[in-house]
Chains A and B, each alone.
Chain A
Amino acid sequence: MDRRPRRYFIKEQPMPQPDEMPDRPSLFQRIRYSIFPGTLKTGKDREGYRRLFNSLVLHFRPRTVQEETLRWTLTWGLGGMAVVLVSMLLGTGVLLKFVYQPIPEKAYESILYLQKEVLFGQLIRNIHHWSANALILMSFLHLLRVFFTGAFHAPRQFNWVIGTASFLVILFSNFTGYLLPWDQLAFWAITICTGMLEYMPGIGLWLQGLIQGGPEMGPGTLSRFYAIHTAILPITLLILMPFHFWRIRKAGGLVVPRQPGQGSGERGQSVPAIPNLLLREIVVALVLIACLLVFSMFFDAPLGDKANPGLSPNPTKAPWYFMGIQEMLLHFHPLFALFVIPALMLIALLALPYLNYELNTAGVWFASTKGRSMALIASLAALIGTPLAILADEYLVEVAGRLPTIPTWITNGLVPLAAVLAAVAAFYVFLKRKCAASNTETVQMVFVLLLVVFLVLTVTGIWFRGEGMKLVWPWSGGP
């Protein structure tokens, strides 16, 4: 194979010679030997210390990795980037904690103080802000990569669940952090998001009170969000992450990439993880950190006016990662947009690795050649169908107005949801018959379809919604 990833091996080095302990060591020598007792050992033992150090640092890395898994186009370095971003976030987050005051009267002022008075304060906040947003993006892309390379099949099923849980933790970290500046942007975005909880049947109001710490947004909300953001979620993530990595090792490393039709099973050549894997990871980390720093120097994290509970800005939008849900809110009854549909999506996501598949396509991008073309058709269908559906709902269909006697949760919730599900089902049956596809391929197709629908909704919410949530062109002077 000529397109093999480049390999590195550590050159054989002569055994290091031990230092000789002087008869009467000076104070500095004694201190040095107390810290590095290994330097006094014989050559063989010293080598052992080096190995120990390596295995300590790379506790979650195997000694050797399969050569093929080093390929950049298998992972795109996404998981590694997420780890780098998490560590950047922890570092800058701890710094921010020294300045920030989680009290409504002081929070906004402390951010202003941070930005204007603290040396590099603005930069630190920018890095934290952009890392957080990049983390959502990276972990989402990582999720897609894992899905499309079939890396959720046995024995990696449960690791998919851990990964999904980590993704949720990341989402909620972003969400809770969003409130902390206590500006107009934050205040109203969180107001509408906690307002969404009211529609959860049964426990909604109770949960809302629990999260808000009172009947409405106030000091209780801020201190709760602060505690969740700076303690509960980071700790949860720090528990989930090693679990996630450990399961990769348990699964025998990453999926081995292969072409469609190529059988799995034969193990390729293994190469030492140090330096082959380590070097690549360091390169990715350094490039990412450099990009992040440059970006944070030029683009400031947004900060609106101080929160004013008496004045909702127009338009008030949720954070961008919840924009797809907000867009659904304009088309469905809140009970469905905020509860039924997201719950169904989450259940589907968690159940994904446990469905019945005929083929284990781990390592093949998009499962097979047929899978690739079906995914393409599905994404095209969603790309065309979703904007048409949005436009139709906006300008043509007014179901609720015509049937005033029926409750809106049926006319605006059940009926449109049934219509959407019927459309998806029809598409599924049609393509399944036409292509005589396996389960693996059709599940992927439905996933792609729903994914692209959600992406289109998100893009619409971010760029095509203006004042009063009316449809606008993004270049016609929106917000």
Chain B
Amino acid sequence: MTKMKKTKPLSVEKENRPEVNPSRRSFLNTLWVVLGGLALVEVVALVLAFFRPRKTGIKAGDSAGILEAGSVDKFALNSVTAFVRGKFYLVRLENGGFLALSRKCTHLGCTVPWSSRDVRFVCPCHASVYDIRGEVVTAPAPRPLDLHPVFIENNIVKVDTNQVVKRNTFRPEQVVYRKK
């Protein structure tokens, strides 16, 4: 058993306390709230910065993300070649133009295989179907397959896998041709 220490009643202490200037008190209260809010904002910003997605290590325009697909003549007309490392398909259309299609389905991100039998890209997840130019044939995909920029230097096809071009529809300007 501990002996209770006799203390002065609180009310007495309060009465003896000197009057506090009310404006000073409210100022200090406001200051506390502001400082606390500021600290909270800092913490939130810190946490968000900490959780920023990792960088892939390659910046856009850097040569490291550019994949040499091979010489132009290696690709037959009207053909689709899969590049596993770059996660894209190199498409050569009938007119000789090139398109680099991302293999990621625009619906929910499944990997879309090329079916040479149907001459279509058919997504196994939710049955979206794309044609050889990446255009949607059957929903639920909301837009055509994304593109990677293609350029042809010295007859070599190169694909910039770092850049992803989203598009709403197929346009002839998207196709890259060999310079005459």
Residues of A bordering B, CB below 8 Å: 188, 191-192, 194-196, 198, 209-210, 212-216, 219-220, 224, 309-316, 329-330, 333-334, 400, 408, 412, 468-470
Contacts and interface: CB of A to CB of B under 8 A. Distances in A.
B54 A330 contact: no
30 contacts: A188-B125, A191-B110, A196-B108, A212-B53, A213-B51, A214-B53, A215-B53, A216-B109, A219-B54, A220-B54, A224-B51, A309-B111, A310-B87, A311-B111, A311-B113, A312-B112, A312-B124, A312-B125, A313-B124, A315-B125, A316-B124, A329-B108, A329-B126, A329-B140, A333-B142, A334-B140, A400-B139, A412-B139, A469-B125, A470-B127
Contacts of A224: 51
Given A188-B110, A408-B142, A312 B53 contact: no
Contacts of A309: 87, 111
B80 interface: no
A412 B109 CA distance: 20
Interface residues of B, number: 25
A209 B53 contact: yes
B157 interface: no
Given A315-B124, A468-B124, A469-B127, A213 B140 contact: no
Contacts of B54: 213-214, 219-220
B111 A334 contact: no
Contacts of B46: none
Nearest to B51: A210
A194 B112 CA distance: 17
A215 B124 contact: no
A400 B53 CA distance: 37
Identify which of A314, A315, A412 gathers the most chain B CB atoms within 10 Å of its CB.
A314
Interface in B117-145: 122-127, 139-140, 142
B84 interface: yes
A230 to B, nearest CB: 17
Contacts of A468: 122, 124, 127
A312 B139 contact: no
A45 to B, nearest CB: 12
Given A310-B111, A311-B113, 13 more contacts: A192-B125, A195-B108, A209-B53, A214-B53, A216-B109, A219-B54, A309-B111, A312-B112, A315-B124, A329-B108, A330-B126, A408-B142, A469-B125
A400 B142 CA distance: 12
Nearest to A199: B142
Contacts of A195: 107-110
A55 B122 CA distance: 63
A316 B110 contact: yes
Nearest to B143: A408
A412 to B, nearest CB: 7
Contacts of A312: 110-113, 123-125
A468 B104 CA distance: 17
Contacts of B11: none
B56 interface: yes
Contacts of A400: 139
Contacts of B53: 209-210, 212-215, 220
A120 B145 CA distance: 47
Nearest to B122: A468
Nearest to A210: B51
A348 to B, nearest CB: 25
Contacts of A216: 104, 109
A214 to B, nearest CB: 5
Contacts of B111: 309-312
Contacts of A191: 108-110
A412 B112 CA distance: 23
Interface string B50-92: 0111101000000000000000000000000000100100000
Contact of B56 (A194, A215, A408): A215
A330 B54 CA distance: 33
B110 A192 contact: yes
Contacts of A213: 51, 53-54
Contacts of B140: 329-330, 333-334, 412
A224 B103 CA distance: 25
Contacts of A188: 110, 125
The 4 lowest CB-CB distance pairs between A and B, nearest first, are A195-B108, A314-B124, A195-B109, A192-B108
A452 to B, nearest CB: 25
A192 B109 contact: yes
A194 B110 CA distance: 11
Contacts of B112: 312
Contacts of A214: 53-54, 56
A210 to B, nearest CB: 6
Contacts of B126: 192, 329-330, 469
Contacts of B139: 400, 408, 412
Contacts of A209: 53
A334 B142 contact: yes
Identify which of B84, B112, B124 gathers the most chain A CB atoms within 10 Å of its CB.
B124
A214 B122 CA distance: 26
Nearest to A220: B54
Given A215-B53, A310-B84, A329-B126, A334 B110 contact: no
Contacts of A212: 53
A309 B54 CA distance: 19
Contacts of B109: 191-192, 194-195, 198, 216
A24 B127 CA distance: 84
B56 A316 contact: no
Contacts of A198: 109
Contacts of B122: 468
A71 B54 CA distance: 54
A195 B108 CA distance: 4
A312 B84 CA distance: 14
A216 B103 CA distance: 12
A316 B53 CA distance: 26
Nearest to A308: B111
Interface in B130-168: 139-140, 142
